[in-house]
């Protein structure tokens, strides 16, 4: 496998990044010494012309692959008609209809531009609906960059549940008292917390599949039962899992229907579009103009449901709706995932490859991974070394995930497994 070379042009661009961008980065946690020039299907190329099999997929949005010709054709026609109007457009309305037809919990839809916005506004709607203040989230759960979301998303030390710890400076101290933290996959502890704080809780929010940790059997079902018992809205953050695990997202895949959900990433074929979806009785709190509810919440966004992203979303969903798309996606992902585990086992390297076929990762530990704290016991240095060795072998991935697309081919699989084998030999 050809070793990556770095051209003078790429070095100069990186020098500019170091000068003009804080930390020389755009804030995202992926290797910063590569400047991506273009992508096509399952591949990306840097400015120096090095080719990589892409398992980052833009941190997930490119489920159908880069520069899909049907997406390009659709948006090219729309661009000539205008990029955004702030008011309604036909594509956004049709996309909302398609989402309601596809997603189990969706009765109405409100668009936004980022996952952070979608989860934040879902929480705001739940607080307006319940007239309560506190939320319960799970330690290690990622819900974007809002002050509420950045509570115990990646705590550096363990503290007693349900106390929350801020993950960033600049968050008001008062937010800590409004967020309760529970351990993912621990139904008994979570149930006890919900019962104890039932009169204060506006919502429970969770990734149904937390980062790459799958729910243990009965966890999501139990969470649905206890929140229903106390009439507390259950919110699924499906920014990652939406349209990736199934057309109806993780709620279809796992068979548990929340009250609200946030969708993004794969929904719009790489364009900035997200959505809050859910039950009419809660979603109507976004109607702050007509007076259909009292104390409707404000949720404006300049690019909400813009026609280019909405048309890209319609096109992406149509592509994903075709026969055998998900069967093939899961077959490719499982082949890579299972083969990686087998290779590590044969090399007698303690490791667990966990997740689902479309998104997974390896933890270098012999212990089971079932929540955030168990994941922190894995060898992070060994993981970083493995990721670096893969990059040298033409495999581009996030620091903590392999994303698989419907564009990945058997040739990609073969080359990936060769890269695994070579990297593992050096481990």
Given a cut of 70, whether residue 87 has pLDDT beyond it is yes
Looking at the whole model, is its pTM more than 0.85? Answer: yes
CATH assignment of 8-67+324-426, given 1.10.10.10, 3.40.50.1820, 3.90.1150.10, 1.10.40.50? 3.90.1150.10
369-422 pLDDT, tens digit each? 999 999 999 999 999 999 999 999 999 998 889 999 999 999 999 999 999 999
* The two three-digit tokens of residue 372, written as one number: 């955030």
Q: Could you tell me the residue ranges of all domains in the chain?
A: 8-67+324-426, 69-320
Fold agreement (8-67+324-426, 69-320): no
Give the number of residues written for the chain: 427
Tell me which residue of 58, 160, 126 sits closest to 262, measured CA to CA. 126
For residue 3, the Cα-to-chain-centroid distance in whole angstroms is: 31
- Rounded Cα distance between 323 and 312, Å, is 20
CATH assignment of 69-320, given 3.40.50.2000, 3.40.640.10, 3.90.1150.10, 3.40.50.280? 3.40.640.10
- The pLDDT value given to residue 25: 82
Given a cut of 90, whether residue 48 has pLDDT beyond it is yes
Residue 297 burial class via C-beta count within 10 angstroms: exposed 0-12, middle 13-18, buried 19 and up: middle
Other C-beta atoms within 10 Å of 291: how many? 8
CB 335, CB 221: distance < 8 Å = no
113-172 pLDDT, tens digit each? 999 999 999 999 999 999 999 999 999 999 999 999 999 999 999 999 999 999 999 999
- The pLDDT value given to residue 2: 58
Q: Tell me which residues are annotated as active site.
A: 142, 237, 265
* The two three-digit tokens of residue 2, written as one number: 């050809």
């Amino acid at each position: 496998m050809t070793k990556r070379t770095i051209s003078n042009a790429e070095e100069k661009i990186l020098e500019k990044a170091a000068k003009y961008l804080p930390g020389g980065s755009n804030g995202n946690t992926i290797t910063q010494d590569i400047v991506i020039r273009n992508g096509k299907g399952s591949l990306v190329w840097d400015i120096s012309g090095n080719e990589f099999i892409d398992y980052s997929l833009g941190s997930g949005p490119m489920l159908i692959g880069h520069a899909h010709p049907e997406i390009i054709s659709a948006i090219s026609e729309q661009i000539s008609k205008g990029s955004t109007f702030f008011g309604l457009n036909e594509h956004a309305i049709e996309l909302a209809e398609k989402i309601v037809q596809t997603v189990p919990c969706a009765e109405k839809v409100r668009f936004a531009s980022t996952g952070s916005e979608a989860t934040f506004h879902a929480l705001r709607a739940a607080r307006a609906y319940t007239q309560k203040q506190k939320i319960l989230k799970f330690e290690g759960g990622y819900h974007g960059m809002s002050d509420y979301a950045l509570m115990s998303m990646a705590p550096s030390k363990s503290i007693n549940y349900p106390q929350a710890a801020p993950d960033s400076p600049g968050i008001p101290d008062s937010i800590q008292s409004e967020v309760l933290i529970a351990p993912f996959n621990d139904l008994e502890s979570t149930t006890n917390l919900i019962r104890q704080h039932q009169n204060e809780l506006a919502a429970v929010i969770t990734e149904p599949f937390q980062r790459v940790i799958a729910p243990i059997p009965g966890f999501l079902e139990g969470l649905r039962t206890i929140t229903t018992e106390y009439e507390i809205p259950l919110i699924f953050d499906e920014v990652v899992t939406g349209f990736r695990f199934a057309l109806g997202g993780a709620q279809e895949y796992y068979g548990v229907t929340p009250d609200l959900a946030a969708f993004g990433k794969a929904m719009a074929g790489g364009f900035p579009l997200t959505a809050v979806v859910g039950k009419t009785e809660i979603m109507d709190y976004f109607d702050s103009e007509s007076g259909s509810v009292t104390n409707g919440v404000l949720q404006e966004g300049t690019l909400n449901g813009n026609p280019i992203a909405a048309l890209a979303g319609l096109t992406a969903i149509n592509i994903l709706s075709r026969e055998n798309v998900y069967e093939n996606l899961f077959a490719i992902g499982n082949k890579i995932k299972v083969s990686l585990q087998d290779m590590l086992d044969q090399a007698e390297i303690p490791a667990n490859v966990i997740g689902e076929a479309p998104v997974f990762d390896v933890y270098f530990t012999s212990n089971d991974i079932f929540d955030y704290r168990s994941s922190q016991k894995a060898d992070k240095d060994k993981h970083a070394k493995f990721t670096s060795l893969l990059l040298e072998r033409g495999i581009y991935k996030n620091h903590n995930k392999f994303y698989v697309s419907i564009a990945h081919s058997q040739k990609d699989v073969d080359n990936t497994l060769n890269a695994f084998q070579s990297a593992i030999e050096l481990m």
